[in-house]
Amino acid sequence: MWFTRYYENKDSFLNKGKVSLLYGPRRAGKTELIKMQLRNFKGKLFEGTGDDIELRSVLGSENKSKILTAFQDYDCIFIDEAQRINNIGWGLKILVDGLDGKSIIASGSSSFKLASEVGEPLTGRSITHTLFPLSVVELKKQFGGMDIVQNLENYLIFGMYPDTLNQRNKNDKVAYLTELRNSYLLKDIFEVDGVKNADKMFGLLKLLAYQIGGEVSLSELGNALELSKQTIARYIDLLEKSFVIKKIGGFSGNLRKEVTKTNRYYFIDNGIRNAIINNFNATDNRNDIGMLWENFMVMERIKKQEYEKIYSNNYFWRTYDKKEVDFVEERDGKLFGFEFKWSPRKVKIQKEWLRTYQNATFEIINKDNFLGFL
């Protein structure tokens, strides 16, 4: 089944005089999305990948004459897996500066590599998009809200990767996610950044998987894995930049009782999280449904923010006496607090949050009302 992506019917990547950058995790559908947009392109098109040694030798050469001569005949240039090309930022700069009126597109699954390469050279010359695994925003538009409600448990357990949703049964879904975990999840980190200790990295992921919704101590993680705090911090940074996890910091209005020095970490996809701990049990047969719900809600909201251009600073809020709000959006000079509860049972409103911040709201999101939030 083909799932309609948010950017699919938009000319989001055909920007003359700019480099369009598309980031996102492996297997999220970046290549298919761009090829779909280019399917009816009328001009002369070049499509290449960073795996091609000849392409790497040209675009990575920083030789202006060599690069422009090779690409001057094309109206649109698409480079997939661009992070594999050394000095790709300067190669793309030469293209966009030297080939007036051309559309240039580059995609990559490793934002820490590609972003570091293109940052300075493409200042003012690029437009950036992020493609996540499928989102409720996209599925609701294609199939309607009731379809989301009917399939909610599948999303919580198996996640939202397009290929996962296309598998026929539970066994096939588990097999796909296991392969994704083993073969693709950390590929960019191991290949590009030279991290060698896969066991420690997977150990870190497993510890994070059991702490969703809780503040994480880098020192405690380091002690558990026999790694330094600095190494843990580096590994976590790489995991976030390669679209495995997402960091959320604590909000503070500079009150002494607020916890701000730790972070919470969420997995980009519930299915990957469950593959890390090898638990694909149904929702009524597991004790971590609250974690799954919170992870799903946080990431689906972040996808919605990205696609619909809702500009927000995202936090959690907690005090030392354990008053907390799961998710806080700071936007338009206001604070919007959300508590995520799987069960629709009545939950106490966080009155201290509302007393502390006069410009704040508070809403409880459960499985009965989540569609309005997403």
Could you please report the per-residue DSSP string of 168-201? SSHHHHHHHHHHIIIIITTHHHHHHS----HHHH
**Greatest mean pLDDT among 13-17, 101-105, 315-319, 337-341:** 337-341
In the predicted model, what is the mean pLDDT of residues 90-97?
Answer: 90
More confident residue, 186 or 228: 228
Q: Return the exposure string of 122-150: e unless at least 16 CB atoms fall within 10 Å of the residue's CB, then b.
A: beebbeebbbbbbbbbbbeeeeeeeebee
Together in a domain, 231 and 359: yes
Together in a domain, 336 and 233: yes
In the predicted model, what is the mean pLDDT of residues 214-224?
Answer: 93
Together in a domain, 116 and 141: no
CA distance 205 to 235: 10
What are the tens digits of pLDDT across the range 152-182? Answer: 999 999 999 999 999 999 999 999 999 999 8
pLDDT tier at 300, thresholds 50, 70, 90? very high
Scan for tokens 């995202």, then name that residue.
314
pLDDT tier at 37, thresholds 50, 70, 90? confident
**Tell me, what CATH number does 296's domain have?**
1.10.10.10
Strand 245-250 to 126-130 pairing: unpaired
Residue type, 291: M
pLDDT tier at 194, thresholds 50, 70, 90? low
Q: Helix or strand or coil: residue 304?
A: helix
pLDDT at 125: 82
pLDDT at 255: 65
Q: Identify the CA nearest to 267 among candidates 234, 230, 242, 233.
A: 242
CA distance 191 to 110: 10
What are the tens digits of pLDDT across the range 244-265? Answer: 999 999 998 766 666 667 899 9
Question: Which range among 112-126, 340-354, 358-372 shows the weakest confidence by mean pLDDT?
Answer: 112-126
Q: Is residue 363 in some structural domain?
A: yes
Together in a domain, 81 and 149: no
Q: Is residue 10 in some structural domain?
A: no
Q: Helix or strand or coil: residue 37?
A: helix
Together in a domain, 282 and 160: yes
Host H or E run for residue 48: strand 45-49
- pLDDT over 60 (residue 12): yes
Rounded percentage of the chain residues whose pLDDT exceeds 70: 93
pLDDT tier at 111, thresholds 50, 70, 90? low
User: What's the distance, CA 85 to chain centroid?
Assistant: 22
CA distance 194 to 189: 7
Q: Helix or strand or coil: residue 88?
A: helix
CA distance 44 to 25: 29
Half-sphere exposure of 37 (CA within 13 A, CB side): 24
In the predicted model, what is the mean pLDDT of residues 139-159?
Answer: 97
Strand partners, 108: 23
pLDDT at 117: 65
pLDDT at 259: 65
Three-state SS string over 119-155 comes to CCCCCCCEEEEECCCCCHHHHHHHHCHHHHHHHHHHH
Boundaries of domain holding 83: 19-130
CA distance 241 to 113: 9
Q: Is residue 9 in some structural domain?
A: no
Together in a domain, 153 and 174: yes
pLDDT at 189: 73
Together in a domain, 246 and 295: yes
* Inter-residue contact 27 to 110 (CB < 8 Å): no
Together in a domain, 334 and 212: yes
**Tell me, what CATH number does 26's domain have?**
3.40.50.300
CA distance 177 to 10: 30
Q: Identify the CA nearest to 106 among candidates 208, 38, 20, 29.
A: 20
Last residue of a domain, one of 130, 159, 174: 130
Give the total residue count for the chain: 374
**DSSP 8-state secondary structure symbol assigned to residue 18:** S
* Inter-residue contact 283 to 157 (CB < 8 Å): yes
**Greatest mean pLDDT among 21-35, 103-117, 178-192:** 21-35
